Structure 1
Amino acid sequence: MSDLTETAAKLMDCRKDGLGGRPAAGEDPAKREQILDGAQRVFMRVGFDAASMNDITREAGVSKGTLYVYFKNKEDLFAAIIQRKKSLVFERLKQIVDADKSVAETLYEFGITFGMHLLSEDAIRGQRIVIGVIDRMPELADNFFKFGPNTGPVLLANYLARQVELGRLKPIDDAMYTSRQIGDLCMAGLYRPRLFGEMQEPPPREKVERNVEWAVRLFMNTYGTDKS
């Protein structure tokens, strides 16, 4: 390796890993996860408005200087927590739609996974937090509710469109609208009581399964084909 090439490689390593072979400031994934874990515990415990950056530094076990290297404010932190949770759920849902199973089986597993997540304690608390600040911070709510390419409803809509092309489903006028309808059917009678506190605990899995089974049967009776 020439001196010039070796020098360039060392500069690249410094940018990537920081001095001494350690991650550069703000680029240590483990530290970032540590901060997010601490922030999530604080938000879930006291809510968004009552949470302070001091509370989060104590809970995460980092200095305030370190915290601000990774996140500029608590809005940034909360948005990152939302995105992390969405990414984890999305990966599980993607595995389901990518598996070689029948349409009914895929929709059933998708509905169970999505429903159990949406009705979980963390998800419900997060949604309540967003609802509480939506008038003052619409951008935070937009980040929570927006349908990007890496979200469950879009993933399901794309799956439905592919199944129509393969002849496994009858034509669907609006795959995105239908995707949302399936989600609503899977959560019928469960989501609103859970969100607004009438249902204090997440429903048992058997109840979610019964809901999803009914929703899938209704959908397949409408759109199913012999190839389904």
Structure 2
Amino acid sequence: MTATLEPRHIKVISRNRRVAGADPEKRHQILEGAHAVFTARGFDAASMNDIAAAANVSKGTLYVYFEDKEHLFVALIEREREKQKQGMYEALAEEPDLTLALTSFGTGLVRLLTGPFALSAHRIVLGVAERMPELGREFYERGPMQGARHLAAFLDQRVAKGELAIADTALAAAQFVDLSQSTLMRPRLFNALRTPPSEGEIAHVVGEAVATFMARYRRLPAKP
């Protein structure tokens, strides 16, 4: 006679079974394989077959986690981006000096944006955004928009402390982000410059961005 499962047993099985595509170790394994393939062959030459082989998973398993090569690449760059963003956010949270906090944030931002992997991600997303707008939106919301929101929240705190006078911190945050990457990001994005900017170049541009920002938004002491 075939045994039947009581409803309570079914609940236990469902609770202990991983949802398809939700195993963090398997996802990490796939991303490691993808990183090796993209680094060695570039995006265009890489295939899902290559990635599955490098990650030691079946192609079917690969598609359970990522629907296509574009989404896989965006997930990979988001993982790399998260590693660098933490240092940027820590500078905003832990540095008491306003000028130094903005300088650290701006420097980290430019290093991130002008790095080869981040540039490849931007080019790829821009290339497919018209036919895959949801991919472009996801990339923007988890990258540039998230960074600007963190900076805006930081500016709100400094406004509350009386250090800054800003009516629209979201706009001010976007302005600072644009100032920090001025003359550095676009030439790299369009491959007009093949190498990342030097630390000296980054320091100069970010320093000018901070000076411009502070000249506009620093709260001046009241006149006696």
Q: TM-score range by the shorter chain?
A: 0.7 to 0.9
Structure 1 counterpart of 2:5: none
Structure 1 counterpart of 2:3: none
Question: 1: CA distance between counterparts of 2:120 and 2:143?
Answer: 22
Structure 1 counterpart of 2:135: 140
For 1:11, the aligned partner's letter is: V
Structure 1 counterpart of 2:103: 108
Which of 68, 76, 80 does residue 73 from structure 1 map onto?
Answer: 68
Q: Confirm whether residue 186 of structure 1 aligns to residue 195 of structure 2.
A: no
Deviations 1:163-197 (A, max 9, x none): 11110112x12211111111111111111111111
- TM-score, normalised to structure 2, is 0.81
Structure 1 counterpart of 2:211: 217
Q: Confirm whether residue 92 of structure 1 aligns to residue 87 of structure 2.
A: yes
Q: Confirm whether residue 47 of structure 1 aligns to residue 48 of structure 2.
A: no
Does the CA contact (< 8 Å) of 2:89 and 2:150 recur in 1? yes
Structure 1 position 159, deviation (Å)? 0.7
Q: Confirm whether residue 195 of structure 1 aligns to residue 189 of structure 2.
A: yes
Secondary structure at the aligned position of 2:194 is classed as coil
For 1:213, the aligned partner's letter is: G
Question: 2: CA distance between counterparts of 1:111 and 1:139?
Answer: 28
For 2:196, the aligned partner's letter is: P
Does the CA contact (< 8 Å) of 1:117 and 1:123 recur in 2? yes
Deviations 1:70-98 (A, max 9, x none): 33333442342243234333322221111
Structure 1 position 138, deviation (Å)? 1.7
Q: Residues 76 and 198 from structure 1, CA distance in 2 versus in 1: closer, same or farther, beyond 3 angstroms? A: closer
Alignment length (residue pairs): 212
Q: Percent identity?
A: 40
For 1:102, the aligned partner's letter is: D
In structure 2, stretches of 5+ residues that fail to align are 1-7
Deviates more, 1:148-157 or 1:29-38: 148-157
Q: Residues 120 and 79 from structure 1, CA distance in 2 versus in 1: closer, same or farther, beyond 3 angstroms? A: closer
Structure 2 counterpart of 1:4: none
Secondary structure at the aligned position of 2:89 is classed as helix
Which of 108, 116, 122 does residue 121 from structure 1 map onto?
Answer: 116
- TM-score, normalised to structure 1, is 0.80
Deviates more, 1:96-105 or 1:23-32: 23-32
Q: Residues 221 and 150 from structure 1, CA distance in 2 versus in 1: closer, same or farther, beyond 3 angstroms? A: closer
In structure 1, stretches of 5+ residues that fail to align are 1-6
Q: Confirm whether residue 208 of structure 1 aligns to residue 209 of structure 2.
A: no
Does the CA contact (< 8 Å) of 1:26 and 1:70 recur in 2? yes
Structure 2 counterpart of 1:11: 12
For 1:188, the aligned partner's letter is: S
Secondary structure at the aligned position of 2:219 is classed as coil
Secondary structure at the aligned position of 2:201 is classed as helix
Q: Residues 132 and 69 from structure 1, CA distance in 2 versus in 1: closer, same or farther, beyond 3 angstroms? A: closer
